[in-house]
Amino acid sequence: MKLFKISGSSMSPTLNDGEILLSKRPHLIKVGFIYVINHTDLGVIVKRLKGQKNNKYFFEGDNLKLSTPSSVIGPVSRERIIGQAICSLGRKRIRRL
């Protein structure tokens, strides 16, 4: 299990700036779940899986107005998915994801 600090508002209201994300190693990759990605250009990012095709995965943030578009993130290979979100730790709450 690993911890990541959320930076920015691209995943709000689900995950907010400054919250801590607890993740586990992903075994089954499922559409609709939140993952940590080690992106070649963007670094480590946290996004929701929106689709899968030909062993490539497509992600976007929950806050579409503030998130990097899926077209910029591009298709992501399985090796780049480094974590699956389990829960977030905020100032006043712990939320299971």
Q: What is the average per-residue pLDDT within 1-26?
A: 95
pLDDT higher than threshold 90 for residue 26: yes
Which residue range is the domain that position 34 belongs to? 2-96
Phi, psi for 79 (deg, rounded to 5): -65, -25
CA angle 49, 51, 53 (to 5 degrees): 130
Question: Domains in the chain: how many in total?
Answer: 1
What the block records as the tokens of 6 is: 């959320």
Confidence at residue 94, expressed as pLDDT on a 0 to 100 scale: 79
pLDDT digits (tens, 9 = 90+) for 44-95: 999 999 999 999 999 999 999 999 999 999 999 999 999 999 999 987 777 7
Three-state DSSP class for 45?
A: strand
Average pLDDT score over residue span 25-51: 96
Domain CATH number, residue 86: 2.10.109.10
